[in-house]
Structure formats: structure tokens, C-alpha cells
Amino acid sequence: QSVLTQPPSASGTPGQRVTISCSGSSSNIGSNTVNWYQQLPGTAPKLLIYSNNQRPSGVPDRFSGSKSGTSASLAISGLQSEDEADYYCAAWDDSLKGVFGGGTKLTVL
């Protein structure tokens, strides 16, 4: 059972906008920033969004993040086939222990 809660799956057609939610508590998301990772099959996770809504260099602006209270969301607009991957939310808790969501498998139909 993961500390952060994500839907196990999401899907969309090319060009659509999809969102993935992430729910936590006051001791993690409620008091620290949220990061999102994209994991393509057989590869290490890649930082996609950090500090709730910041994109590292090289990440397309189709990807955006937001946070409100103890929940966060990842939005992907203009969905493309190469976006098919697993997505994980993550945060530090008040004891500086890392917590992850269970992951959301995104399918591009």
C-alpha cells in the first residue's frame, strides 16, 4: 500500500488532455512540494515536474503540475503516443522520508 494515492490507470486519445491525481496527507503533500516522474518500460524514472509545477529543462510544456492542500495533479495536454508510460507522484514527509504514489499507467488509445 503506497503512502500517496494515484489511480492505477488513465487513458486518452492523441491530442486529448488527461490528468492524473495524487492524494496525500498533511505530513507529506500538505507540508512539502510534489514531484512527478515518468517511467518508460525498462528504464529508470525521469524527473518530469518538480516543486509542484516546475519543468526541468527539456520537458515539453505539454506537461504541467499543480497542488492544492494535500492533493496534486499532473496534466498532459496534446497527448502523444510517446507519452505512454507509468507516472509516479512523490514527496518528502516531515521526517525527510520519501513517499511515492503507487503509479498510474497511461495508455494512449
Quick check: 95 binds another protein (CB under 8 A)? yes
Least distance in angstroms from the C-beta of 27 to another protein = 13
Q: 1, 8 in Cβ contact below 8 A?
A: no
Least distance in angstroms from the C-beta of 30 to another protein = 14
Q: Give the list of residues 6+ apart from residue 51 with CB closer than 8 angstroms, or none.
A: 33, 35
Quick check: 7 binds another protein (CB under 8 A)? no
Footprint of another protein on 26-85 (CB under 8 A): 32-33, 35, 37, 39, 44-47, 50-51, 56
Quick check: 9 binds another protein (CB under 8 A)? no
Of residues 20, 22, 79, 90, which one binds another protein by CB under 8 A?
Answer: 90
Distances in whole angstroms, Cα of residue 17 to Cα of each of 27, 46, 76, 91? 30, 21, 6, 24
Q: What does the alpha-carbon distance between residue 94 and residue 32 come to, in Å, rounded to a whole number?
A: 8
Quick check: 102 binds another protein (CB under 8 A)? yes
Which residues form the interface with another protein (CB under 8 A)? 2, 32-33, 35, 37, 39, 44-47, 50-51, 56, 88, 90, 92, 95-103
